[in-house]
């Protein structure tokens, strides 16, 4: 039995996602307005993950579909719940849904210095396909990664 429950987030989950996003990303957080925009954007799905049987979500993800391509926009787990497989579970869920709905490729961007996230994506077989110099507010470079579905 899986130790996680994942469900699609509703607009009423906005305050929960705002809190989770701030906890996960700290000073690199999108902030309240961007979270609300993400929840309302067409073709964007938001997910929440819970330890099975518990009521409080510990992580979230935003992803969107664009024709045959899908893109992960954000994924975060609260610091206290890390290294228990939640992000991997969210990723697997997205990969499965994208495959089921006929998507061919899954893309994402990740800070080149974000070793934890990079390790996670490599584990799921994402490959680096490009680099965006000074992509982030703090001047950090982004790697563009792709998984062929």
Ligand X SMILES: CC(C)(COP(=O)(O)OP(=O)(O)OC[C@H]1O[C@@H](n2cnc3c(N)ncnc32)[C@H](O)[C@@H]1OP(=O)(O)O)[C@@H](O)C(=O)NCCC(=O)NCCS
Contact present, 49 and 57 (Cβ < 8 Å): yes
Closest C-alpha to 13, from 48, 65, 45 = 48
Q: How far apart are CA 76 and CA 24, in angstroms?
A: 5
Nearest residue to the partner ligand X, using Cβ: 116
Provide the mask over 46-75, with x wherever binding to ligand X is found by CB under 6 A and - wherever it is not.
-----------------------------x
Q: Which of residues 78-97 bind ligand X (CB under 6 A)?
A: 82-88
Place of tokens 């579905």: 149
115 near ligand X, judged by CB under 6 A? yes
106 pairs with which residues across the strands? 70, 147
Of the pair 103, 145, the CB lying nearest ligand X is at: 145
Of the pair 50, 102, the CB lying nearest ligand X is at: 50
Contact present, 58 and 51 (Cβ < 8 Å): yes
Name the site residues for ligand X (rule: CB under 6 A). 24-25, 75-77, 82-88, 110, 114-117, 119-120, 123
């Amino acid at each position: 039995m899986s130790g996680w429950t994942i469900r699609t987030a509703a607009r009423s989950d906005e305050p929960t996602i705002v809190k989770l996003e701030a906890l996960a990303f700290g000073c690199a957080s999108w902030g309240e307005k961007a979270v609300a925009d993400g929840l309302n954007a067409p073709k964007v799905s938001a997910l929440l993950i819970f330890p099975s049987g518990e009521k409080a979500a510990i992580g979230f993800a935003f992803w969107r579909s664009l024709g045959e391509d899908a893109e992960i926009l954000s994924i975060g787990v609260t610091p206290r719940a890390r290294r228990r497989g939640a992000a991997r579970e969210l990723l697997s869920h997205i990969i499965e849904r994208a495959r089921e709905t006929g998507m061919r490729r899954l893309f994402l961007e990740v800070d080149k210095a974000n070793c934890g996230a990079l390790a996670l994506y490599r584990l799921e077989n994402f490959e680096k396909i490009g680099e965006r110099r000074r992509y982030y507010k703090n001047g950090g470079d982004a790697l563009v990664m792709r998984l062929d579905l």
